[in-house]
Amino acid sequence: MSVPQTPGTFGATTTAAEVVDGVELHGRRAVVTGASSGIGVETARALASAGADVTLAVRNTAAGDRVVARLEAELPPGSGKLTVGLLDLADRSTVAAFAADWQGPLHILVNNAGVMAPQEITRTPDGREQQFGVNHLGHFALTTGLHRALAAADGARIVSVSSTGHLFSPVVFDDLDYRFRPYDPWTSYGQSKTANILFAVAAAERWADDGITANALMPGNIADTNLARHMDMQEIADFVASGAIALPPQKTVEQGAATSVLLAGSPTVAGVSGRYFEDCAEAKPVTERGTNVGGAAPYALDRDNAARLWRVSEALIG
């Protein structure tokens, strides 16, 4: 068996398969949300190839079943077991049911699912702006609902998939749901992605005594994904061309899943918690968006912001 790589050998072009080369995850159980397409599939594939039993938590269980059938045909002998569970992050009842039905310890939770930039404001059934409601609150409810299972794992890892889009906006606590501000799809997306990072910061501090680590990440600019299903591709191209948004170089889906898999299963980051990663390394701080296509905004790692968001989120999910 090959020896796991060290952090210095990972980078923007590293694939998820390379991250888990030589990594042993037999006996560990993982949940990957949004694992019926894009980097969720590749995250599930990599973790299962290293021996983890992986549950694909998805809105469309038929699509999840098709992914499982394909992965089972492609994975090598000795890979972990793949199963499918119903989870619609906009529907609080399915979130509660998924958490309640989980039995035994949970070693890895990859909060991967998300929605990006609906052009018109959309709200969840409980009245939240959709991107904040799905990307943050749905995952917050899921993870807190699974806290006991995570604590029982003795070394669980939470992985929160964020984005360089967090540079578009901090969390605007006085108007989370665009009741007063004119709706803007990009600042809304940015707010939700900042919330994903702040959640990891808060969970890392609150649950450290349970042996739980939590980190957030930017997967990269990945064209082949279902995340942008609400968007017109020409509008995106025009937006980029206008200079209103800058994007890093494109990655393949296999490269895009690498940082998630690093944080979920690699021994090279054991004990690391409350950080934000990109390209398989901790992101450098930036003090303004400008032309930056990466880096961590200070408001996204602020412990006071993280603690406030946790309190607000608890109140919002009841």
Active site members: 189
C-alpha–C-alpha distance, residues 256 and 260, integer Å: 8
Q: Considering only CA atoms, which of 174, 219, 127 is closest in space to residue 309?
A: 174
| Residue at token pair 């997306």 | 189
Contact status, residue 225 vs residue 253, Cβ threshold 8 Å: yes
Which spans in the chain are helix H?
Answer: 16-19, 38-49, 61-74, 92-101, 130-131, 139-145, 147-151, 185-206, 233-241, 253-256, 258-265, 303-317
Contact status, residue 20 vs residue 266, Cβ threshold 8 Å: yes
For residue 265, how many C-alpha atoms fall within 13 Å in the half-sphere facing its CB? 35
C-alpha–C-alpha distance, residues 307 and 294, integer Å: 24
C-alpha–C-alpha distance, residues 79 and 68, integer Å: 12
Amino acid found at 243: G
Q: Considering only CA atoms, which of 224, 241, 160 is closest in space to residue 194?
A: 160
Spell out the SS3 assignment of 19-68: HCCCCCCCCCEEEEECCCCHHHHHHHHHHHHCCCEEEEEECCHHHHHHHH
C-alpha–C-alpha distance, residues 276 and 299, integer Å: 12
